[in-house]
Structure 1
Amino acid sequence: MTKPQRILVFQQKGSGEPKIAGLRKYGEGLYRIDVFSIDEPLPPVLDDTRPYLPEVIEADLVLDYLKHPDLSEDLAKRCAALRIPVVASGKKVKVPGVYIPVTCCGLGRPGRLGLYEERFGAPEVDVVLENGCIQKVVVRRGAPCGATWEAAKKIEGWSVEDAAVRYGLEVQYFCVADPSGWDPLYGKSPVHFAGHMHKRAMAKALERLGVIAEEAESENSEPDRHLCV
């Protein structure tokens, strides 16, 4: 039996709750999740974060859903000193051992994150087809917020021509990233980036079956509704 990976989640005022719920729902019992919450009001600048962070950090992996940049910076440095890897999606922290994808579903497989990276990160899906339509979507890896799995249910019954674009759209409805953010490197908001990642994952799944889905100009455009009957 696989030993559960110890994951310590840091959040502020419930900022990580949707992803904590997703980890527990879709983690298949692979993780022991502990949560450290900071709920009190904080000043814009924290010269000393020690009163707010735990004295001892023990985990195989830390997930940073904190909002205050000073907390994230000092947490990253402490974890680096302890050789504990950190996933801090959307952050600008530049500390060795800290992984900062644009969104949680933009995380690759760096090889240091243990069981977490096997189940969560950039989406990987397989599909079962019947008569040119999506019969079932099997999620092998996805976003910790659960959007990958929830959106997969919504495209069952769609034609292969529309499946990739539709998947990207459905994911945006479930994504919990801040839609007001904008990443100049990718030219997308985090929500649109998530849609793009899932559109690409579906296209790859179809390509493995020898099916090339028609490309739409944008994953934000609504395809005609082609459902199997």
Structure 2
Amino acid sequence: MRILVAIQGHYGQRIADNIRQHCPAEWEAYTYSFSSDLPAIVDDANEFLPKELPAADLLISLGEHPGVAQMIPDMVKKSGAKAVIAPADNRVWLPPGLARQIKRKLESMGVEVVYPVPFCTLAEKDSQNQYIREFAKYFGRPEIDIELDRDRIKRVAVIRGAPCGCSPYVADGLAGVWERDAVEKAGLLHHQYPCLATMVMDQQFEDTLMHRAGLMTKLAVEKAIKGVKVAK
């Protein structure tokens, strides 16, 4: 699978680096970087995009400004992407109204798009598109496997990692932790990584997206520990 990741700063760069580090060997991952000084409204995307972009099956838009999101249809045309993942880790970067406009435009082009809020909530069931589902096998809502030694965590294996790369960090930090403390510790490690999702209260979830992201990691640990107990 060929992936094009549109980035604009540290937030997107960290995700792109993690994808390259942990994706299957046969995947190809490219990045295109936008400048930080985009206008509020992009009238002509050609002013900010090259004549050609790397050919891709999947476009991942990780802009830190609404202008990047406005250019998603143009990036699709130039790359030939057949699917788009545009996370909303900060609603300022991708307002809901703009997301709906882009979705309608992409649907008219025959291109599937998903908007995970935040990125680490992405799951295979969110789409029937083969490229989005393939990506979500490896990156999205965290899934881990835990091995216990009596009441302490002996080993943690990452099955599916958060796109930002925090899952291996959390896994390493849980080694030796008492089982009863593992969920709370996972939440602390997630924040320390650090999580870059916004701390602004989100109207849809009545919670911050950073807290929602931390919950995904904590639930993964809770589920893994329950799985160990059931297996016993």
TM-score by length of 2: 0.80
Query: Does 1:11 pair with 2:18?
Result: no
Judged with a 3 Å threshold, the aligned counterparts in structure 2 of structure 1 residues 120 and 22 are, in CA distance, closer, same or farther, namely same
How far the C-alpha of 1:103 sits from its partner, in A, is: 1.6
Judged with a 3 Å threshold, the aligned counterparts in structure 2 of structure 1 residues 40 and 131 are, in CA distance, closer, same or farther, namely closer
C-alpha distance in 2, partners of 1:135/1:161? Answer: 14
How far the C-alpha of 1:111 sits from its partner, in A, is: 3.8
Unaligned residue ranges in structure 1 (runs of 5+): 212-229
Is the 1:76–1:86 contact (alpha carbons within 8 Å) kept by the matching residues of 2? no
C-alpha distance in 2, partners of 1:186/1:55? Answer: 40
C-alpha distance in 2, partners of 1:181/1:11? Answer: 22
| Aligned match of 1:101 | 116
Judged with a 3 Å threshold, the aligned counterparts in structure 2 of structure 1 residues 204 and 138 are, in CA distance, closer, same or farther, namely same
C-alpha distance in 2, partners of 1:44/1:59? Answer: 27
How far the C-alpha of 1:158 sits from its partner, in A, is: 1.1
Per-residue CA deviation, residues 130-165 of structure 1 (Å, 9 max, x unaligned), is 111111111000112110111111011111111122
TM-score by length of 1: 0.81
C-alpha distance in 1, partners of 2:26/2:128? Answer: 17
Judged with a 3 Å threshold, the aligned counterparts in structure 2 of structure 1 residues 70 and 179 are, in CA distance, closer, same or farther, namely closer
Q: Secondary structure at the match of 2:61?
A: strand
Judged with a 3 Å threshold, the aligned counterparts in structure 2 of structure 1 residues 45 and 101 are, in CA distance, closer, same or farther, namely same
The correspondence of residues 17-28 of structure 1 with structure 2, limited to 5 A, is: 17-28=13-24
How far the C-alpha of 1:28 sits from its partner, in A, is: 4.2
In structure 2, give the amino acid aligned to 1:46: V
Mean Cα displacement is larger for which, 196-205 or 31-40?
31-40
Judged with a 3 Å threshold, the aligned counterparts in structure 2 of structure 1 residues 106 and 40 are, in CA distance, closer, same or farther, namely closer
C-alpha distance in 1, partners of 2:77/2:136? Answer: 19
Query: Does 1:143 pair with 2:170?
Result: no
| Aligned match of 1:88 | 86
C-alpha distance in 2, partners of 1:64/1:76? Answer: 11
| Aligned match of 1:222 | none
In structure 2, give the amino acid aligned to 1:119: Y
Figure out how many residues of one structure are paired with residues of the other and give that number: 207
The correspondence of residues 176-191 of structure 1 with structure 2, limited to 5 A, is: 176-191=195-210
| Aligned match of 1:224 | none
Is the 1:18–1:176 contact (alpha carbons within 8 Å) kept by the matching residues of 2? no
In structure 2, give the amino acid aligned to 1:108: A
Cα RMSD for the two superposed structures: 2.3
Is the 1:124–1:139 contact (alpha carbons within 8 Å) kept by the matching residues of 2? yes
In structure 2, give the amino acid aligned to 1:27: C
Query: Does 1:42 pair with 2:38?
Result: yes
Match of 2:211 among 192, 212, 215: 192
More helix by share: 2
Per-residue CA deviation, residues 12-63 of structure 1 (Å, 9 max, x unaligned), is 2454111111112222424211111112622222222232134445211111
Q: Secondary structure at the match of 1:191?
A: helix
